[in-house]
């Protein structure tokens, strides 16, 4: 079952990779019924030209792999 605590745990595991480059990741919202997670890239990651790739290939991919109940991950600006 999808829940905020489980999502936050995975974000905490992803966070160090982003922090190495001066970025970070914030969990904004979890819609448990729809399977939607909203996150916000912060620091250098928020303004990096590679932010969309980082989001898709790291953040979204890792969250969906770890929690199959997630149907969609949205990046909030």
In order of their start, the domains of the chain are 4-75 (3.30.300.130)
| pTM greater than the 0.85 cutoff | yes
User: Left if phi > 0, otherwise alpha if psi is -120 to 50, otherwise beta: which for 43?
Assistant: left
Is the pLDDT reported for residue 1 higher than 90?
no
Alpha-carbon dihedral angle through residues 63, 38, 26, 70, given to the nearest 10 degrees? -20
What would the pLDDT profile of 13-69 be if each residue is shown by its tens digit?
Answer: 999 999 998 999 999 999 999 999 999 999 999 888 989 999 999 999 999 999 999
Total count of residues recorded for the chain: 77
What is the predicted pLDDT for the residue at 47? 86
CB neighbourhood size of 3 (10 A)? 12
Burial class (CB in 10 A: 0-12, 13-18, 19+), 43: middle
């Amino acid at each position: 079952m999808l829940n905020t605590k489980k999502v936050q745990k995975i974000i905490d595991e992803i966070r160090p990779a982003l922090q190495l480059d001066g970025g970070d990741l914030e969990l904004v919202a979890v819609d448990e019924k729809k399977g939607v997670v909203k996150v916000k890239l912060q620091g250098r990651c928020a303004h990096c030209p590679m932010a969309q790739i980082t989001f898709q290939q790291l953040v979204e991919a890792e969250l969906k792999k770890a929690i199959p109940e997630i149907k969609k991950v949205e990046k909030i600006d």
